[in-house]
Structure 1
Amino acid sequence: MQHVAEVQKVCKAPSISIGILHEGKVLYRRSLGLRDVENNLDANSDTSYLIGSCSKLLTSAAVGILAETQLSWKDLISKHVPDFDPVGDPRIGQQATILDACRHSTGLANPNAVFFGPQGALTIKEEDHVALLNALPTSNDSGQRFNSWWNYSNAAFGVLSNVIKAVSGMHFCEFIRQRLCQPLAMEQTLVARAEVLGNNNIAYPYVQMEDGHWAKIENGLTSETYAPGVASMGMRSSVNDLLTFCAAVMNRYDCEKNIHPPQELLHPAKENPLRQISSIWGWWWTRPLDDGFDNNTAYMLGWWRTTMPTSALGQLSYNAIHRREDIIGKNSGSRTLYGHNGVTEGSVATTYLIPSSHSAIVVLSNAAYAGDASDATAQIMLQALFDLQPSVDLVAAVQLSRNERLERHEKMISTWQENRDVSKYKATPDELVGSYIGLNVSRINIVKSDKSLSGLAVVFADQEISRCELEPYNSDSLSYLPMKYDETIARGMIDWDYWTVGIFNFVRQDRDRQQGDIVGLEWKWDEYDYPALWRKE
């Protein structure tokens, strides 16, 4: 565990919890560190962590249960969600299927900064999610993205919660609880706020600040009030529960493929509730990597697949393989691996599954600073489990990833500073104050403040917890981008890795001459999408 302890230190992680299933049996479980820093409480294999996008594994499994008898993977989304009709490309409403939502081929944008606000505020109501989808950008400089680009979108994936509710007649969170978790005795897999508040074994997310103290991060993702967020990245789970789930996935796959003997379930159950695993792993969007290996990498239905050796490990995490020498198992045999990474405000998760040896590796951590402790630890375990050669120094690799991410943040701040000119700022607080509506349902309130140089602050969706002070940036533009990386993480700002994400550009009636009343604000909340307009009420 020495290497894992070193990873914990590099990644500034309060705790890391590990579980390994091999040849069908639980081989190893271990937890290091604290799930609750303030109360000095240790993590264990039943500690419930935020699992971020590993939630997609369970959501796709829920669709698979319904696909057995009540829907088809090729059903149009609009068949079950009639209001789904993105205006940016009419083909999406007319042709996009459940497959497209699962494998991220709808072409819809990924507005994490829009619906996951500062301080853990959920800024979109569940009943407004489809209206939000209908207003999202659908194209880039190369044209429309539908079924021509792989564009990872938590928002588009979240519509599966609407599909599940429409088909089953049950709220998505209740479906996950009754049809998946209860049959598999996954008692620490949580999908509702009340479950989190009533649980005495929670890993709270943290970031270690410059002065050394641990700041607890507010995170409202696990909330039944916004099921699309739970479906895409808002579930909590434990090492034991995810090992149970992985065993059930392999058991069902073996049964569907007539593989004997099949993987056994880890807990007695009348019947494995999972279905259609071979279909979940049978459709994909190819994600080729130029790493010199035939890795057959693709994104399946809520899972990614790759064949080792590969540089695909960590591609969906805070880590990335920067050097060929950091690819594990270059001289070892090939192994097909399924899995996912999860990253959210103050938590990371990694799930690897290798069906050929009935193996699974689950690693959870309650920090998401720069390096990803879960991914690095999972690769350490994978290398040791299969004695992969040549041995790679994965502590050095995660150190490199951590440094690269911090350097990228410094470059972002440098670009922000280069484009700032406060001498051009002439707007008055009175003309900017008001409510602005964009993407059909997103509300941004500009309010007066005595704490900022501009005299203004922003509040998202009328939630005071999301309040951020606004500073003059340029002509008719204000910014609330934190200058320090640890402050960005502490505020719970997810996907804040592009310099325009924290800038509002206000629009006047005569846009070209910048004259007249303020009529709206533009926000470029993603590097790869055009700015969107919020109109002033």
Structure 2
Amino acid sequence: MSTENDAVVGRLQSCLPQIQRIQSITQTPSITFGIIHHGQVIFKNSIGHRDSALALPADSETIYMLGSCSKMFTSAAAGILVEEGKLSWTDRIQKYLPEFNPEGDPRLGLEADIIDCLRHTTGLASPTMLTVGPRGTIASVEEDLVAILNVMPTRNPATGEQRFNREWLYNNAAVGLVALIIERISGQRFADFLRERLLEPLGMSRTAVTRSDIEADGNVAAPCTKLSDGTFYQLPDSSWPCDHHSPLLAGMGMRSSLNDMLTWCTAVLDAERSETDPNYKRIVPNNPLKQMRRVRRGYWTRPADDPDFSKPAAYGMGWFRVDLPSSKLSSFSGNSLSQSNGHKLHLHYIVGKDSVATPFPAVGHTGGMRGSIFSVYTFPDTQSAVVTATNGRDLGDASDFTAQILVQALFGLTPGVDLIPWALKEAGLAANQYRVHIEEPWEQGRRPDDTERDYMLYVGEYSGFNDRFRLMIAASTLSQAPLSIVFNRRLDSECPLVFYQTDVYSFFRPDEDYAKTQAIIAKNFKQMLLRFQVDEQGSVEGLYWQWDTEAEPAWFRKLGQ
């Protein structure tokens, strides 16, 4: 085994120049990565810096944002309660959260279960802009989550058909319902349950589930964006880990280090193998993980992009599965632009396409946050894992490209695929994304010469989503505009409002550095427009906000009218 590992390590070591090139192309401050093979950590490295000033080197103890890789811990926490007989995977959500009863589809309240939430098949639209506001602020309280989900759209806007268990629709908030259930069963805060039942037994002392875990820690990766002057800017991240909002913690809110995540992968693979192989001798003493085979199996098929070659992928409970070689390996990565229908560049860069006689499974996930991406791939057949983390994502997902380079070297896949041209293409598309898809359409629709009413007419508080979310329009305390908006009374979410058309204002303005530093989570400029409704007497009745690209604009009535 040592001879084999020496050869593998040699191949991994030879990847360093390519990874350094990926870092340069994607302009991320750091990339940290590590490998497990046959249950043992065989390779670790870090390049670059954990801070925006590029003064502090990253290392294997640096704590990065996990983003959606947090879901692995949520499903594992549920698995412990299932193993103890306190929960069933097919238990209805309403059994524990009787207030869960989405208005758009009565079947959800009656039928949606734990698996539906964890595999993203509730069909509920994701209330992303109602949970995460500008500059990373948490825009809602956890007590309102169920009520907000109850008014989320449930139909496909194109077909008019209900989506529940008919379509796959990613939804962090629905995953968050499982955290609330765990709290009601255990009597503990979700963060405390994770620490006591998972992290401490595994010795994962560098995994953060509360803000206090990192407040005094100097080795934390700052999520970064690169500004037009070439400097890095640290994006605000004071809400993460979001222990004051358990559903967000469950879906996207944890942080961890490379070393801890290698420990995690070892434990996951160890637990899963012990459930499938009666002759297997466990290597993790007192491993707390249960139901891993059930958690990591595929529940919802994701069609292959090239059905003549790749098998379909499948989504499990906080994990996705592919059989390598596959065009779907990076389907959950941040390199989405080059994989879109207009490009499909990834089909030309499938690792191992000619060298794998028998397809073998890869089970993993990617966690993308503002200025940060974390990737985890595990390989049950060889008890292997590839873990990568970055603290920048302006010009592509360096963690994904790095992971694929390392996977190729780990298994000696041939022919060798050079991923640098793909990375260059993704970076080019990302560099133009803001201008082509946000700024130019915004400018084309703007009518600055329209009649502008007295801006004080719009000042007031507006209520929507069954009074669970409010928008406050006020005379601005900021210098850029006379009006500003505050989301759901979170004062640190304040953004200036720019006149766009008669009775239409925008909390976006055409400045790429502004867009990057505000970090507003929007796919389309229309999500950043407010259309005020003015009656015949000249009074504002309310406003419409298209908070989601696939939903009708939501009505907010002006309070006091």
TM-score by length of 2: 0.91
User: Secondary structure of 1:505's partner?
Assistant: strand
User: Secondary structure of 2:214's partner?
Assistant: helix
Separation in structure 2 between the aligned mates of residue 484 and residue 386 of structure 1, nearest angstrom: 45
Separation in structure 2 between the aligned mates of residue 262 and residue 456 of structure 1, nearest angstrom: 65
The answer (yes or no) to whether the contact 2:301–2:314 under 8 Å persists in 1 is yes
The answer (yes or no) to whether the contact 2:93–2:100 under 8 Å persists in 1 is yes
User: Secondary structure of 2:312's partner?
Assistant: coil
| 1:391 lines up with 2:416 in the alignment | yes
Separation in structure 2 between the aligned mates of residue 107 and residue 133 of structure 1, nearest angstrom: 11
- What corresponds to 1:96 in structure 2? 112
The answer (yes or no) to whether the contact 1:189–1:237 under 8 Å persists in 2 is yes
More displaced, 159-168 or 448-457?
448-457
* 1:476-518 deviation digits (Å, cap 9, x = unpaired): 1111224344432322323x221212111122347xxxx7422
Separation in structure 1 between the aligned mates of residue 383 and residue 66 of structure 2, nearest angstrom: 22
- What corresponds to 1:196 in structure 2? 214
- Which residue type is aligned with residue 472 of structure 1? F
Residues 157 and 486 (structure 1 numbering): CA distance in 2 closer, same or farther, change over 3 Å?
Answer: farther
* 1:224-252 deviation digits (Å, cap 9, x = unpaired): 11111111011001111111111111111
**Identity value in percent:** 38
- What corresponds to 2:353 in structure 1? 330
More displaced, 50-59 or 106-115?
106-115
Choose from 325, 336, 342 the match for 2:367: 342
Residues 241 and 425 (structure 1 numbering): CA distance in 2 closer, same or farther, change over 3 Å?
Answer: farther
Choose from 252, 269, 280 the match for 1:261: 280
- State the Cα distance separating 1:263 from its structure 2 match: 5.8
- What corresponds to 2:5 in structure 1? none
The answer (yes or no) to whether the contact 2:298–2:321 under 8 Å persists in 1 is no
- What corresponds to 2:245 in structure 1? 226
- What corresponds to 2:261 in structure 1? 242
List alignment gaps of at least 5 residues for structure 2: 1-15
| 1:53 lines up with 2:72 in the alignment | no
Separation in structure 2 between the aligned mates of residue 222 and residue 280 of structure 1, nearest angstrom: 24
Separation in structure 2 between the aligned mates of residue 188 and residue 450 of structure 1, nearest angstrom: 40
User: Secondary structure of 1:535's partner?
Assistant: strand
The answer (yes or no) to whether the contact 1:190–1:196 under 8 Å persists in 2 is yes
- Which residue type is aligned with residue 244 of structure 1? T
More displaced, 19-28 or 306-315?
306-315
- State the Cα distance separating 1:64 from its structure 2 match: 0.9
Residues 439 and 425 (structure 1 numbering): CA distance in 2 closer, same or farther, change over 3 Å?
Answer: farther
Separation in structure 2 between the aligned mates of residue 502 and residue 388 of structure 1, nearest angstrom: 46
Choose from 440, 451, 459 the match for 1:414: 440
Separation in structure 2 between the aligned mates of residue 520 and residue 214 of structure 1, nearest angstrom: 40
Separation in structure 2 between the aligned mates of residue 482 and residue 295 of structure 1, nearest angstrom: 44
- Which residue type is aligned with residue 504 of structure 2? S
- Which residue type is aligned with residue 514 of structure 2? E
List alignment gaps of at least 5 residues for structure 1: none
* 1:329-368 deviation digits (Å, cap 9, x = unpaired): 1112122111001111111010000100111000011112
* 1:340-397 deviation digits (Å, cap 9, x = unpaired): 0111111101000010011100001111213011111111101111122222221221
- Which residue type is aligned with residue 52 of structure 1? G
- State the Cα distance separating 1:451 from its structure 2 match: 4.8
Separation in structure 1 between the aligned mates of residue 166 and residue 451 of structure 2, nearest angstrom: 41
CA-based RMSD: 1.8
Separation in structure 1 between the aligned mates of residue 385 and residue 245 of structure 2, nearest angstrom: 30
The answer (yes or no) to whether the contact 2:498–2:508 under 8 Å persists in 1 is no
Choose from 187, 190, 194 the match for 2:205: 187
Separation in structure 1 between the aligned mates of residue 509 and residue 361 of structure 2, nearest angstrom: 41
* 1:376-427 deviation digits (Å, cap 9, x = unpaired): 1111101111122222221221221222233333222222222222333533
Counterparts of 1:21-100 in structure 2, within 5 Å, are 21-38=36-53, 40-68=55-83, 69-100=85-116
The answer (yes or no) to whether the contact 1:157–1:231 under 8 Å persists in 2 is yes
Q: How many residues align?
A: 528
- What corresponds to 1:281 in structure 2? 296
Choose from 19, 27, 49 the match for 1:12: 27
Separation in structure 2 between the aligned mates of residue 123 and residue 150 of structure 1, nearest angstrom: 25
Separation in structure 2 between the aligned mates of residue 305 and residue 485 of structure 1, nearest angstrom: 36
User: Secondary structure of 2:541's partner?
Assistant: strand
More displaced, 184-193 or 106-115?
106-115
- What corresponds to 1:503 in structure 2? 529
Residues 12 and 262 (structure 1 numbering): CA distance in 2 closer, same or farther, change over 3 Å?
Answer: farther
Separation in structure 2 between the aligned mates of residue 352 and residue 100 of structure 1, nearest angstrom: 23
* 1:60-114 deviation digits (Å, cap 9, x = unpaired): 1111111112100100011111111111211111111111100000011112222
Separation in structure 1 between the aligned mates of residue 331 and residue 298 of structure 2, nearest angstrom: 20
The answer (yes or no) to whether the contact 1:429–1:454 under 8 Å persists in 2 is no
